[in-house]
């Protein structure tokens, strides 16, 4: 089906108008396709945990169980319920971001202090996974930002650096100033990301390794949210990675005018 309007041959105003209209149609069609794909992905992502929950319950009621077995079943169900509720929360954040319905509280933030405040949580996550976290001296920098969202951004990246690591692996966190920006780097000695997938990992639900992401409780939405938060602060995230060696995620944020 060709939805484009035929362009007249002459190069007048009408012809230009039709060109513009055709471009608009193309763009609308692309966003519609993206929306369709996204709805399909959402349904798919919800189906897996629901299937597991259903299976666990059916199995539990179809046979006599010891209390210990029932507890194990309930623990599995709880894992899936937690995954579902994390996914709902992440999706709501992204939906609200899309329709610009999230309010922010921008104020001067000391990045070094903010990172230090995260460290306690980070050490707990790292200990669970047997990963060592090292911090380099954070250079002081003030940026205009939303404290809660910035913490969410850094925690998502640090959490990934721990999750996609190897036992005994390392994560190094640093904050350095360069020109008018602060660069927060999160370097890991983990599994790395194939070159041709680096751009894709920021897309909603994209995962390099579905099974591993599931095992670690991932929703596939963390980096989409991280990218959105960076952009909201006029910043960006850069990634360098080598499969089997590790990755470096750098968040570059503009320092506030003094
Ligand atoms: P998830 O919930 O799956 O972690 P994210 O959006 O946070 O979702 O990340 C998307 C995918 O990018 C992950 O599933 C993983 O394959 C890959 N990834 C993210 N961070 C890293 C990292 N530090 N090292 C290796 N792979 C990573």
pLDDT in tens, 92-147: 999 899 888 888 899 999 999 999 999 999 999 999 999 999 999 999 999 999 99
CA of 201 relative to ligand 1 center, distance in Å: 7
pLDDT in the model for residue 183:
98
How far is Cα 215 from Cα 72, in angstroms, rounded to an integer?
Answer: 16
93 lines ligand 1 (CB under 6 A): no
3-state SS assignment for residue 191: coil
94 lines ligand 1 (CB under 6 A): no
pLDDT in the model for residue 120:
93
Q: Is residue 1 scored above 60 in pLDDT?
A: no
CA of 157 relative to ligand 1 center, distance in Å: 9
Q: Yes or no: say if 175 and 139 are a contact pair by the CB < 8 Å rule.
A: yes
* Neighbour count for residue 182 (Cβ, 10 Å): 23
pLDDT in the model for residue 132:
97
pLDDT in the model for residue 166:
92
223 lines ligand 1 (CB under 6 A): yes
pLDDT in the model for residue 63:
85
Closest atom of ligand 1 relative to the 223 alpha carbon: 6
pLDDT in the model for residue 228:
95
pLDDT in the model for residue 257:
80
| pLDDT band at residue 37 under the 50/70/90 scheme | confident
213 lines ligand 1 (CB under 6 A): yes
**pTM for this predicted structure:** 0.85
Q: Which of 87, 204, 207 to mutate to test the pocket of ligand 1 (most atoms within 8 A of CB)?
A: 207
How far is Cα 143 from Cα 80, in angstroms, rounded to an integer?
Answer: 38
Pull the structure tokens for residue 191. Answer: 């599994």
184 lines ligand 1 (CB under 6 A): no
Complex ipTM tops 0.90: yes
pLDDT in tens, 171-191: 999 999 999 999 999 999 999
Q: Which of 86, 201, 224 to mutate to test the pocket of ligand 1 (most atoms within 8 A of CB)?
A: 201
Q: Which of 160, 169, 213, 229 to mutate to test the pocket of ligand 1 (most atoms within 8 A of CB)?
A: 160
CA of 188 relative to ligand 1 center, distance in Å: 12
Average pLDDT over residues 12-30: 90
Q: Is residue 4 scored above 90 in pLDDT?
A: no
218 lines ligand 1 (CB under 6 A): yes
Average pLDDT over residues 230-250: 97
| pLDDT band at residue 215 under the 50/70/90 scheme | confident
Q: Yes or no: say if 200 and 155 are a contact pair by the CB < 8 Å rule.
A: no
pLDDT in the model for residue 2:
66
CA of 66 relative to ligand 1 center, distance in Å: 38
201 lines ligand 1 (CB under 6 A): yes
| pLDDT band at residue 79 under the 50/70/90 scheme | very high
pLDDT in the model for residue 99:
86
Q: Which positions ≥6 away from 188 have C-beta within 8 Å?
A: 161, 162, 164, 165, 169, 170, 171, 172, 246, 247, 248
Average pLDDT over residues 212-222: 84
Residue nearest to atom 16 of ligand 1 (CA): 208
CA of 61 relative to ligand 1 center, distance in Å: 36
Instruction: Kindly state the percentage of the chain with pLDDT values over 70.
Output: 99
């Amino acid at each position: 089906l060709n939805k484009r309007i035929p362009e007249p041959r002459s190069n007048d105003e009408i012809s230009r108008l039709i060109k513009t209209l055709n471009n608009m149609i193309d763009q609308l069609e692309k966003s519609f396709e993206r929306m369709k794909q996204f709805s399909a992905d959402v349904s798919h992502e919800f189906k897996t945990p629901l299937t597991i929950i259903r299976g666990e319950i059916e199995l539990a009621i179809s046979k006599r169980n010891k209390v210990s077995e029932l507890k194990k079943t309930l623990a599995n169900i709880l894992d899936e319920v937690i995954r579902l509720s994390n996914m709902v929360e992440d999706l709501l954040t992204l939906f609200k971001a899309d329709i610009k319905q999230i309010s922010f509280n921008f104020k001067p933030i000391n990045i070094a202090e903010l990172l230090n405040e995260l460290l306690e949580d980070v050490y707990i996550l790292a200990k669970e996974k047997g990963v060592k976290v090292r911090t380099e001296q954070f250079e002081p920098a003030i940026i205009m930002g939303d404290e809660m969202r910035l913490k969410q951004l850094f925690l998502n990246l640090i959490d990934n650096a721990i999750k996609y690591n190897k036992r005994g692996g390392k994560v190094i966190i640093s904050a350095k100033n360069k020109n008018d920006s602060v660069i927060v780097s999160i370097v890991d000695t983990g599994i790395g990301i194939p070159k041709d997938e680096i751009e894709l990992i920021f897309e909603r639900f994209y995962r390099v390794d579905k099974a591993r992401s599931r095992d670690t409780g991932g929703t596939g939405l963390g980096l989409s949210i991280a990218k959105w938060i960076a952009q909201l602060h006029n910043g960006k995230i850069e990634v360098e990675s080598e499969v089997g060696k590790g990755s470096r995620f750098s968040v570059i944020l503009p320092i506030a005018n003094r």
